[in-house]
Structure 1
Amino acid sequence: METITKAYEVIVVGGGLSGVCAAIASAREGAKTALVQDRPVLGGNASSEIRMHICGANKHGTRDEARETGILEEILLENKKRNPQHSFSILDTVLWEKVNFQERLTLYLNTRMTEVVVEDHTIKSIRAHQLTTDKDFEFKAKIFIDCTGDATLAYRAGADYRVGREAKSELGETFAPEKSDNRTMGNTLMFRAIDYGKSMPFEKPSWAYTFTEKDLVNRGHSAINNELEHYEIDSGYWWIELGGMEDTIGDAEEIRDELLKTVYGVWDHIKNGGEHGAQNYVLDWVQFLPGKRESRRIEGDYILKEQDLLEGKVFEDAVAYGGWPMDMHPPEGFKYRGPSTNYIQVPIYTIPYRSYYSRNIHNLMMAGRNISASHMAFGSTRVMGTCAIGGQAVGTAAALAIHYGCEPRGVLEYKTELQQKLLKADCFIPGFRNEDKKDKALNAKVKASSQKRGYDATHVINGIARNVEKEMNAWISQELGASGEWIELKLKEQMPIQEVRITFDSDLGTEIMTTLSETVRSNQREQLPETLVKDYEVELLLEDEVIYSKQVKNNYQRHVIHSMANRRANQVRIKIYTTWGNKEASIYEVRIY
């Protein structure tokens, strides 16, 4: 069969959230990009195949202003608008749409990488087979990004990697085990149960296991007491976890079979092993593709470690951040009779660029749960919100490497430019602010129709597009009247204006992701965030005379970009008429180019 050869500048392998964000970012920054995904849908653990909700630094909405922004926020707000019913299949479609219709980006679904060609520590090409079309491909590129989760591309390319737990003596990690081993966190199968409105019997399959209350100690499993999310009877249990004592890659088929026997055994106990409030419940969906937590981690120039997280370290080459606890599951998983997880709380910390490229394969980058981190640090960095913003950072860096004709390591020379590009794209980097010399707003005079105390109009040009701890960085108006409220930026001189970028307030202390969990869902607003601006107008003025205006109705995005076609002006005025619920208008940042 003939092999079809395709050439790109950047190729991303793996279509989870990190791969999606990496591919979109690379393409938006100008690189000809391909995304190669071996599944029929995008999203990885957030897809309809696995249905895990997206956790991140805001810790289920318990940490203010910590939700990840950038491309992930764009996707989730799009999904929030179109998918209030929390359908994972609709989220599949939103992800497909974002990738499939992105300029300079080509998507290959159902396409399994089969071979990696390497010369002199450089990946020359990969080969892949598309199951649906029975086509064979050879993909060539200058930069390859491994977002496979299992580090499959890196492994086949001969990249240095790690598996398992480091000894505390190796990196000086207090919470690491005394001796190193190959044990990992395991894989999970979840389920969805629905209340059928009448008594529904359940007959255990002959191949399913049998469990008693003693077997399920420390594993909440009753509809009668569901204060904690993982006690919910309708949204499955992440603690049905196995494989950490085995090889989560090599033994994956056997692990899945054991998980199926366990899921149905747990459900049998819930239905037939005592009073659990489940008389009317019936299984509606059982996950068949296990959600995987841990396997290989690629070694970069820097290995992120426990201490970096605990001290909230800000690296000079920081490009992303995390804040989910070091969420350490026992490798025995379901078979462990103690607590099912150990949460080690951490502050907001940054992740250095050096953890996002291979130390020995010259044109290999990575994003997702396979980045360069110790097992302990991985316990926090593995969650999808953190993986996604890392993906955007890597995709942006890959395009920068193409622009400068350098390898990924060479982008360190341009780290300030990389950081400023990420900030411009609404990616928060703790400890850094907008210092883009091309942004004419930074030197503008700002005034507003009104402002609440402590939320000055000048905040929109202070370089930080969210509140940080007690530092308020938004302009908030007084109560919106019939004519709205406005904010105006006056430039030092007349100039052609190419674009105006506005960052609105989408309430980053809350959660907006699709979820199976009724508890998590009940803590979310069904509609779009009420702080988000809905109807507004952007005006260009030349010496106080309006020369151009653009009205926007039903906005639902936090970060919006308006093309101004190089119209000559010296003032930008933004009028806010309505929000999705708040009585005041709120803007975090305005940029003018």
Structure 2
Amino acid sequence: MNTYHYDFVVVGGGMSGICAAIAAARGGAKTALIHDRPVLGGNASSEIRMHICGADHHMSVSNARETGIIEEILLENKRRNPEMVYPIFDSVLWEKVHYQENLTLYLNTHMTEVLCDGDRIEAVSALQMTTEKTFRIFGTLFLDATGDGVLGAKAGAEYRIGRESSSQYGETLAPEKEDPYTMGNSLMFKARDMGHEVPFIKPFWANTYTEEQLRLRDHSDVTSGYWWIELGGGERDVISHGEELRDDLLKAVFGVWDHIKNGGEHGAERMELEWVGFLPGKRESRRLIGDYVLTEKDCLQSTRFEDAVAYGGWPMDIHTVEGFLNENDDPTVWNQVNGIYSIPYRCLYSKNISNLFLGGRAISCSHVAFSSTRVMGTCAVVGQAVGTAASMAVKRNLGPREILDCVGELQQELLKDDCYIPYAANQDPDDIARQAVVTATHHIPGCEPEKTVNGVARTVDEVSNCWRAAIEDRPSLLLSLPGKTPIREIRLVLDSNLSREITPSINQGVLSRQKSGPPSELLKEYEVDILLEGEVVEHIAAQSHGQRLQQLFIDGTVGDAIRISPISTYGSKEAGIFEVRIYSCK
């Protein structure tokens, strides 16, 4: 058996686990990411191919898209994979993890055992199926990002399966009596237009459906589908019956396709199945319990938490029990939340296992609140919050709960890394740009230069929080510092249009709302000059490489002003910068 030791061990390589592992490693923690599949991404991978939804709810909420590491990943994919080919997205995810310093990736590695000492996890045992190697991986801190809460369950963490009664948390959307029911699993498919008529021969094992049976389930888009092909969570739980549910989902997918092709006029004469998933996407199983349980009230009333570290905004999207088997109910009910809401840090660590963080869809929520927090965009920003907290805990020799005492520092670190926390603003005492006098040669009304240091790096409600100027005017932004300063780092947050979707998808409706390549609003090229008494002492010609967050590292050049000059964008006629941060040598 191969034995290894890490500061932070993440089990589960979906979007939450990926973001957590990268954040922790960048924060200096020696990190392991254990994933039991050949590709990363979980429900967003080529094995399942679900688009990454979040608080923007398919562009229906302006300026709500998640930023931070998830934005970095999706923008890199937009630049490198403009046609949104899923296996290429797999490679982007692999690259981000595999080449991250301080991070070791274990693919095709199934966790088989959890070793505990009292209320602490000491190690996990795992089998790498491709090499037949066995591992014992010790850690100081652990994260359950398995989706099913497997690590927590094996460690003895408190968890819940099913729906709470309406009286438990005062939730109007919960049933009168508690029950063990969860949402089900789905299989996706993709079709392509062959340019000529293509017959479909129904397999003998496929189901048969009539238009009457599908009357409540929209199947007008024949290019891909369908989230509502969903089974499990009622009489058959999604974990122990997972294999037979997969078999029945295949029968349903091919039966629905037979109906589309052979069951009436659906405009699919030239369409052919290109891909059918064999790994069901899971929605709900175990929910691990933390020091706080997020509820319907928090989502509807946007509760302001002092320990807020992430946010959600997807509707409380509660699917009907038994999914596709229930032909007489709508497959889901969209219960809108109040814009975006905060997620407190207390939902992100175990109530009774002292060194276990919680991530992904298994964070501490009621069933009703979970119906909103479960989507991958939200899971990703939760993951980054956990990974950042883990790196802080390692440096200070603290447990997850003890980070509550320095949650303000956690919030500031997340904001520095371009995460958004409702009602929180940059108060970083080391950011000397906050003391600068900011002017510009040009600006658009409502987008004044001083907004780049107001502490908020995105448009909120009607406040732009951004400096904008016409690119044709060759504008520049000038930050005059309090005195002569040795500069070590300049950070910029550019405009990447947080009102537009940039997720990979097999759905043509989702893809049609996107533009090929990086967002046109992003700066493509810009220049930075460090000035001393009006003279340029260092000139930097920079390219954004399609990224929103820019980090320029300087070798201690002394200056008393910074000038930033946009040169070009990816198509927009306006240059936009949300935030400038400047850090000096200590």
Q: 1:480–1:577: 8 Å Cα contact kept in structure 2?
A: no
**Among candidates 357, 365, 388, match of residue 373 of structure 1:** 365
Rounded Cα–Cα distance in structure 2 between residues aligned with 1:129 and 1:324 = 36
Q: Deviations over 1:242-300 (max 9, x none)?
A: 00212111110011111011111111111111221111111111010000000000000
- The answer as to 2:113 corresponding to 1:123 is no
Query: How high is the sequence identity, in percent, across the aligned residues?
Result: 54
**Among candidates 225, 228, 232, match of residue 243 of structure 1:** 232
| CA drift at 1:362 | 0.3
Alignment-derived partner of residue 434 in structure 2: 442
**Among candidates 358, 362, 384, match of residue 376 of structure 2:** 384
Relative distance call for 1:196 and 1:478 in structure 2 (3 A) is closer
Alignment-derived partner of residue 340 in structure 1: 331
Q: Deviations over 1:352-377 (max 9, x none)?
A: 00000000000000111000000000
Which letter maps to 1:142? T
Which letter maps to 2:335? I
Aligned residue-pair number: 580
Alignment gaps of 5+ in structure 2 = none
**Among candidates 339, 343, 349, match of residue 351 of structure 1:** 343
**Among candidates 71, 75, 80, match of residue 73 of structure 1:** 71
Bigger drift between 509-518 and 421-430 goes to 509-518
Rounded Cα–Cα distance in structure 1 between residues aligned with 2:133 and 2:351 = 33
| CA drift at 1:156 | 0.4
Rounded Cα–Cα distance in structure 2 between residues aligned with 1:100 and 1:477 = 39
1:360 match: secondary structure: coil
Q: 1:112–1:130: 8 Å Cα contact kept in structure 2?
A: yes
Alignment-derived partner of residue 161 in structure 2: 163
Which letter maps to 2:226? Y
Which letter maps to 2:331? S
Q: Deviations over 1:309-366 (max 9, x none)?
A: 0011221000000001001101210112221110010121000000000000000001
**Among candidates 280, 302, 311, match of residue 270 of structure 2:** 280
Q: 1:480–1:578: 8 Å Cα contact kept in structure 2?
A: no
Alignment-derived partner of residue 225 in structure 1: none
Which letter maps to 1:126? V
Q: Deviations over 1:484-529 (max 9, x none)?
A: 2110111101111110000000000001111111111111111211
- The answer as to 2:205 corresponding to 1:213 is no
Moved over 2 A (4+): 478-481
Which letter maps to 1:441? A
Matches within 5 A, 1:250-269: 250-269=240-259
2:134 match: secondary structure: strand
Alignment-derived partner of residue 186 in structure 1: 184
Rounded Cα–Cα distance in structure 1 between residues aligned with 2:420 and 2:472 = 29
Rounded Cα–Cα distance in structure 1 between residues aligned with 2:547 and 2:352 = 40
Bigger drift between 337-346 and 15-24 goes to 337-346
1:265 match: secondary structure: helix
Rounded Cα–Cα distance in structure 2 between residues aligned with 1:57 and 1:554 = 26
Rounded Cα–Cα distance in structure 1 between residues aligned with 2:318 and 2:231 = 14
Q: 2:471–2:566: 8 Å Cα contact kept in structure 1?
A: no
Rounded Cα–Cα distance in structure 2 between residues aligned with 1:200 and 1:556 = 40
| CA drift at 1:479 | 4.4
2:415 match: secondary structure: helix
Q: Deviations over 1:539-562 (max 9, x none)?
A: 111111111111023631000100
Alignment-derived partner of residue 300 in structure 1: 290
Q: 1:325–1:344: 8 Å Cα contact kept in structure 2?
A: yes
Which letter maps to 2:141? I
- The answer as to 2:391 corresponding to 1:402 is no
**Among candidates 548, 558, 576, match of residue 586 of structure 1:** 576
1:207 match: secondary structure: coil
Alignment-derived partner of residue 39 in structure 1: 37
Alignment-derived partner of residue 531 in structure 1: 521
Alignment gaps of 5+ in structure 1 = 223-231
1:291 match: secondary structure: coil
2:77 match: secondary structure: helix
**Among candidates 424, 431, 442, match of residue 432 of structure 1:** 424
1:369 match: secondary structure: helix
Alignment-derived partner of residue 556 in structure 1: 546
2:167 match: secondary structure: helix
Q: Deviations over 1:373-425 (max 9, x none)?
A: 00000010000000000000000001111111111000000100000000000
Rounded Cα–Cα distance in structure 1 between residues aligned with 2:237 and 2:544 = 50
**Among candidates 505, 511, 517, match of residue 521 of structure 1:** 511
**Among candidates 481, 487, 490, match of residue 497 of structure 1:** 487
1:548 match: secondary structure: strand
Alignment-derived partner of residue 234 in structure 1: 223
Matches within 5 A, 1:538-549: 538-549=528-539
Alignment-derived partner of residue 229 in structure 1: none
2:368 match: secondary structure: helix
Q: 2:521–2:572: 8 Å Cα contact kept in structure 1?
A: yes
Q: 1:45–1:51: 8 Å Cα contact kept in structure 2?
A: yes
Rounded Cα–Cα distance in structure 1 between residues aligned with 2:491 and 2:543 = 17
Rounded Cα–Cα distance in structure 2 between residues aligned with 1:149 and 1:555 = 33
Alignment-derived partner of residue 20 in structure 1: 18
Q: Deviations over 1:21-40 (max 9, x none)?
A: 00000000110001001000
Q: 2:163–2:366: 8 Å Cα contact kept in structure 1?
A: yes
